Amino acid sequence: MKLAETVTFGGSALDRAAELRGKGHPQGGQAIAFWRGKPLVTADLSAVLRLPMDHAIFGDANGVPILLGREDDGGLIYAREMTLWNPEGVDEAALAQFADPTEQVHPAAPDAVFAELRRVMVGLSPRDAELAATARALFAWHSIHGFCARCGASSEVTMDGWQRTCGTCGGHHFPRTDPVVIMLITRGNSVLMGRSPGWPDRMFSLLAGFVEPGETIEAAVRREVYEEAGIRVGDVRYLASQPWPFPASLMLGCAGDAVSAEITIDPAEIEAAMWVTREEMLDAFAGENPAIAPAREGAIAHFLLRNWLAGTLD
């Protein structure tokens, strides 16, 4: 797919400077601040804020800075997490929402806000989006991998945030990424759409599911579609991928041809599924379909559907 890397979080050609990890670096560089998974962005939500490593805000950071890569001007860029900062008046219920609408302002950066990445991702440049996605996924992984999976002892952050090492048994552990297939399943002029329990009203998206051990991408597409909607799928082809740091998936966008039509949902998997015609989907994208809201902008489902409608999948 020629447009594959124009998907959100892809295509910025970030030099990750992997050869520098764990080797020590010259003084300097800049860092992105994070608080509970939220990047620090400009007040208009258009850019991730880069700050000097010695900026006052990082007095509330703890742990090893994570090396994200090398900027186009040669400077190194890191991420730091504000684990020591506890702002007043935090709405915990809002933080748990699908896309947290709240913003937090740190006194050391009064002209910037911590904002949920899902809210701001489509307004960021490809580079800022890739940096933010990478850092968010790494911080999420570190937050639940503080102990060695081999012996249970505490592990330490090493390789500038790209590894954890157990000082007891010597085990090395690396950031996890979970492969997920997401499928544009078509039959004639229609596409298969579904919704999960708890989604906002009218929200439908493409079916998706985790790839299992010992399974090909194609087999995962066929299995997941049949499990969730009872639809048999024939030919499958890969289209595009998207890192999805919520918390740590790689979405593998595929197209598949349905060879059956009758939908039988598994209520343990999804709440509803339906065939949606191209005309009905065009109305949804235009905000004129009372039954369906388009998939969230910035998600690969939205990207695949938009290109299906435009005839630009190949």
User: What is the pLDDT averaged over residues 132-150?
Assistant: 97
89: left (phi over 0), alpha (psi -120 to 50) or beta: left
| Amino acid (one-letter) located at 175 | P
Integer Cα distance of 132 and 125 in angstroms: 11
Q: What is the pLDDT of residues 271-294, one digit of tens each?
A: 999 999 999 999 999 999 999 998
At residue 200, the pLDDT reads: 84
Contact 256, 235 (CB under 8 A): yes
Q: Which residues pair with 185 in a beta bridge?
A: 256
Strand order from edge to edge, sheet including 172-173: 155-158, 163-166, 172-173
At residue 98, the pLDDT reads: 72
Task: Tell me: pLDDT of 267 over 80.
Answer: yes
Beta pairing class for 163-166 and 172-173:
antiparallel
Integer Cα distance of 163 and 175 in angstroms: 7
Q: Is 188 helix (H, G, I), strand (E, B) or coil?
A: coil
Task: Tell me: pLDDT of 27 over 80.
Answer: no
Higher pLDDT, 23 or 98: 23
Q: How confident is the model at residue 260 (pLDDT cuts 50, 70, 90)?
A: very high
At residue 20, the pLDDT reads: 95
Q: What is the pLDDT of residues 68-109, one digit of tens each?
A: 999 999 999 999 999 999 999 899 988 887 778 999 999 999
At residue 37, the pLDDT reads: 95
Structural element, H or E, at residue 234: strand 233-244
Q: What is the pLDDT of residues 152-166, one digit of tens each?
A: 999 999 999 999 999
The rounded mean pLDDT for the chain is 95
User: What is the pLDDT averaged over residues 7-14?
Assistant: 92
Q: Domains of the chain, with CATH numbers?
A: 4-143 (no CATH), 178-310 (3.90.79.10)
Residues above pLDDT 70, as percent of the chain: 100
At residue 189, the pLDDT reads: 96
Q: How confident is the model at residue 24 (pLDDT cuts 50, 70, 90)?
A: confident
User: Which residues, including other chains, have CB under 8 Å from residue 213's CB and lie 6 or more apart?
Assistant: none
At residue 295, the pLDDT reads: 86
At residue 266, the pLDDT reads: 93
Beta pairing class for 249-258 and 178-187:
parallel
At residue 101, the pLDDT reads: 93
User: What is the pLDDT averaged over residues 220-241?
Assistant: 98
Task: Tell me: pLDDT of 26 over 80.
Answer: no
At residue 207, the pLDDT reads: 98
At residue 289, the pLDDT reads: 95
Q: What is the pLDDT of residues 142-155, one digit of tens each?
A: 999 999 999 999 99
Q: Which residues pair with 101 in a beta bridge?
A: none
**CB count in 10 Å sphere of residue 192:** 25
At residue 254, the pLDDT reads: 98
